[in-house]
Amino acid sequence: MIDLKFQFDGTDKKIEEKEYDVIILGAGPAGITAGIYTGRALLKTLIVEEKMIGGEAASTDRIENYPGFPEGISGLELMDNMKKQAEKFKTQFLMSTVHNVAVSEEKKTVIADQGEFSARTLIVATGSSPKSLGIPGEQKFKGRGISYCATCDAPFFKDKDIAVIGAGNSGIQESLFLLEYVRSIKIIEFLPHMTAEKILQERIKQKNNVTFYLNSKLRSINGSQTVESVTIEKRETGEKTELPVDGVFVWVGLKPNTELFKGMLNLDDYGFILTDEFLKTNIDGIFAAGDVRKKILRQVATSVGDGALSAYSALQYIESLHSES
């Protein structure tokens, strides 16, 4: 079982330096990989992260499809190893909220809680966050029975009955982890079938304390002080049913963390950053990598590839500036 007390170290140090070759926004798999590559290229690199080193990957109990780990590896352990590798090549980490990014021909300036930091190039790897449900009860019970992170909150639901919303990879994979703690799970899925990988589907079907409510809409989350039940509606008939549960875990998709770049970078209709094949955005010297950009597949492996390519493109951009001067 994963050590839920695991903590990352060395991210609360005050950063005195203000000028860099590369600033990377986001310390998930894409951002840290980019930092490894730029660090090895002897580029002075700063990674700025607002929430948690490792991003969504760090909150995943077990990653089984990342090459090189035949028995799988916890997300926390994998991301901690990546961070240590980046630090080996002198990449610096800063935990801080970024409020604005100013762009000029000479530099990109990041305005954060801990000051202003400038670089010749910027890699946006801010990732994505879980989507909200937008139903009655969601806001009321956030932190009082509703969770978006099994690794973070599973111990609070020991021997409880819970609902999991979403039967994709995340919903099923995290349900398997939750079963180490909870008494039972009700999985509610909008579609008439699960969309998780077949191997995950087979594993969850073998559990005798899991009930599936497919082709069903979640209508509301109910309770007084904490979650007491959920109301679902069968899509075929419109029949509504109230299911008693002590908690709700939500995995219904992701939204890109791009609020900061609206009106600056070109985004698609869903808010993901548009890039070319070199991961360049519409602004010279700004690149995007990982789950924040428009792409077909969002996995740790694809984010790592994005991180490597964005770092290479950033290096090529800096070298082009040298050749022009």
Over residues 122-171, the pLDDT tens digits come to: 999 999 988 888 899 998 998 889 988 887 788 899 999 999 999 999 89
Contact 250, 166 (CB under 8 A): yes
Catalytic residue among 113, 152, 276, 284: 152
* 149 a catalytic residue: yes
CA distance 305 to 277: 12
CA-wise closest residue to 148 among 122, 175, 174, 130: 130
Of the pLDDT bands very low, low, confident and very high (cuts 50, 70, 90), residue 14 is: low
Specify whether 152 is catalytic. Answer: yes
| Region label for 137, one of left (φ > 0), alpha (ψ between -120 and 50) or beta (otherwise) | left
Q: Is 284 a catalytic residue?
A: no
pTM of the model as a whole: 0.79
Q: Which of 12, 21, 61, 153 is catalytic?
A: 153
Q: Which domains does the chain have, with CATH numbers?
A: 19-129+254-324 (3.50.50.60), 132-250 (3.50.50.60)
The CA-based angle 245-249-255, given to 5 degrees, is 150
Mean pLDDT computed over 98-115: 92
Q: Is 253 helix (H, G, I), strand (E, B) or coil?
A: coil
